[in-house]
Amino acid sequence: MAIKITGTGSYIPNNIEKNEDFIRHEFLNEDGSSINRENDIIIEKFKAITGIEERRYAENHLTTSDLAFFAAKKAIKDSKIDQEELDYIIVGHNYGDVIHNTEQSDTVPSIGSRVKHLLGIKNPKCVAYDILFGCPGWNEGLIQANAFIKAGIAKKCLVIGAEALSRVIDKHDRDSMIYSDGAGAVVLEETKDEGGIISHESATYALDEAHFIYFGETNNPAVKNKRRYIKMYGRKIYEFALNHVPTAMKSCLDKSGYKIEDLKKILIHQANEKMDEAIVQRFYKLYNLEMPEGIMPMTINKLGNSSVATIPTLYDLILNGELEGHEINKGDVIMFASVGAGMNINAIVYKF
């Protein structure tokens, strides 16, 4: 018996925001001072560091719960289960539903309850809740669902990662170009197959690192409203990730009993291309090995950083043959790994 993903689904918004669409933005430093560089140079440097050429934004009439619902519906259909048999709906997100052109985040009822409502599930024993764990939220939801099934209190769980970061970005902040919207979902259940979730590792670093990603006011002092936006200390996050994520990945792999040579793919949170490459390179160096070519599929160049949605979306695209040059086959050992606000880290070794 194994606890495995039996269905996947994702929702990638249709609105494409290209790098050149930021050319007329007034980017400012955190203290409101001018950056003193032309926007085309700022954008060129941004692409060189992050690898992002374009990103997706949700349609104006949609919210995070809508995106989560679309992905969930596909995952349920793919798994061929009766949705009334779901024991848990776990939704990883960070900012709730923010209606387009409004300032307030709406998290009551929970996104999980909203998704259950939109799916039309009648069974009251299907428990729906949210998990706020930064970008690793979908991974952590998967870890919790796995624990529920192992404990015998659940048989089938729906785990979703959804976010509409375009609703919480400061257009005067260069970092706003990183973020995007989307959703990914999976159904996790006990099967007669082998493999599934083999091991996992999670950690929270909050003594000095808790506020590396935070909510802050706009960089433009001329704007007098008190609305807050997603902000981050990019250099601190980069250094934190390089120092802590590879060791968490190693701990997770070592617990699994598999060797690093057994890994076929590493699906890492699509946060920043250079950072992700450096993390995986450092992970392999812990085993005195070079990072293999093609081990780390990437979508960030076209989809940007959609937070909790990046890994389940990436997984769904690969399984559906929509990411050229990448596939996951029966018996393949893969790893999910993520880092984000909290500061939180997690990793999962999974046998397909």
**pLDDT at residue 77 in the model:** 98
Residue-wise pLDDT for 65-97, tens only, equals 999 999 999 999 999 999 999 999 999 999 999
Map 172-211 to HEC letters.
CCHHHHCECEEEEEEEEEEECCCCEEEEEEEEECCCCCCC
**pLDDT at residue 166 in the model:** 95
In terms of residue numbers, what domain contains 62?
A: 2-193
Say if residue 103's pLDDT is above 90: no
**pLDDT at residue 123 in the model:** 97
Last residue of a domain, one of 193, 219, 252: 193
**pLDDT at residue 38 in the model:** 87
Count helices and strands (H / E) in the chain.
Answer: 8, 13
Read off the pLDDT of each residue in 338-342 and give the average, rounded to a whole number: 95
CA dist 43 and 216 (Å) reads: 23
Same domain for 173 and 55: yes
The stretches of 51-136 forming alpha helices (DSSP H) are 64-79, 111-119
* Domain CATH for 245: 3.40.47.10
CB-hemisphere CA count at 13 Å for 217? 9
Residue-wise pLDDT for 131-189, tens only, equals 999 999 999 999 999 999 999 999 999 999 999 999 999 999 999 999 999 999 999 99
Same domain for 306 and 169: no
Map 22-34 to HEC letters.
HCCCCCECCCCCE
Same domain for 250 and 158: no
Same domain for 203 and 185: no
Same domain for 182 and 258: no
The answer to pTM > 0.85 is yes
Task: Give me the number of domains the chain comprises.
Answer: 2
Same domain for 125 and 240: no
**pLDDT at residue 321 in the model:** 95
